[in-house]
Amino acid sequence: MTLNQYIDFTLLRPNASVAEIMTLCAKAVHHQFYAVCVPPCYVEYAAKRLKDTQVKVCSVVGFPLGYNTLQSKMAETRELIIKGAQELDMVINLAEVKNGNWFYVAEEIETFVLLCRKKDIISKIIIEVTTLSQAETMAICEICNKILPDFVKTSTGFASSAKIGEEPFRVNWIRETLSSNIQIKVAGGVSSPYQALAFIEKHGVTRIGTSTNFAEILE
């Protein structure tokens, strides 16, 4: 199996420089990764660098904490689409999850997904599963089953809790509950190509978000 087309090659550090983004894009093209995932401020730059290549431009909404208002998230979504994002990963409002405010959680996910769908943009819902109970994870997945985002993504990689790479059982919670029409993106603590392959082959994952260049490790 070639891992490259499963990879969202990621650089979301708050102090990332334009030179580092340039290198990220160049390596993504060289290794034929599926996408780069860059901070919102670099979307327009990445879109220009990757024009006429097969590499997609992904960015993040409400990142990394998710407690932005729905209106601000939708404004950010619209702006990033205009600037050239082809895929968007939105952090849900985890405060409202903990409040049990499922109506708000569903409204937020649906508003985001419908906007992306209208603009032909791939939508990914970041649920920060390492901070959730199994019941909370399953409740979010059931909401997603009714709305049908393109992906559910496990985590931002910024949470202080255990990394998903160390807790693959949490991915099983998602896959067992989630509709087969919705794909899974794993991110956060997947630091080796062998971990990535295990998620793909054993847990039904179809996209890996990572800042580690697996292609160079395997060379």
Which residues have a catalytic role annotated? 89, 153, 185
What DSSP string describes the chain? Answer: ---GGGEEEE---TT--HHHHHHHHHHHHHHT-SEEE--GGGHHHHHHHTTTSS-EEEEEESTTT--S-HHHHHHHHHHHHHHT-SEEEEE--HHHHHTT-HHHHHHHHHHHHHHHHHTT-EEEEE--GGGS-HHHHHHHHHHHHHH--SEEE---S--SS--GGG-THHHHHHHHHS-TTSEEEEESS--SHHHHHHHHHHH---EEEESS-HHHHH-
> Mean of the pLDDT values across residues 86-95?
98
Structural domain 58-208, CATH architecture: Alpha-Beta Barrel (3.20)
* pLDDT score for 162: 59
pLDDT digits (tens, 9 = 90+) for 175-203: 999 999 999 999 988 889 999 999 999 99
* pLDDT score for 56: 98
* pLDDT score for 26: 98
Whether the predicted pLDDT of 24 surpasses 80: yes
Whether the predicted pLDDT of 217 surpasses 90: no
Instruction: Provide CB contacts within 8 A for 74, sequence distance 6+.
Output: 111, 112, 115
* pLDDT score for 191: 86
Mean residue pLDDT across the chain: 95
Residue 161: pLDDT band (50, 70, 90) is low
> Mean of the pLDDT values across residues 120-149?
97
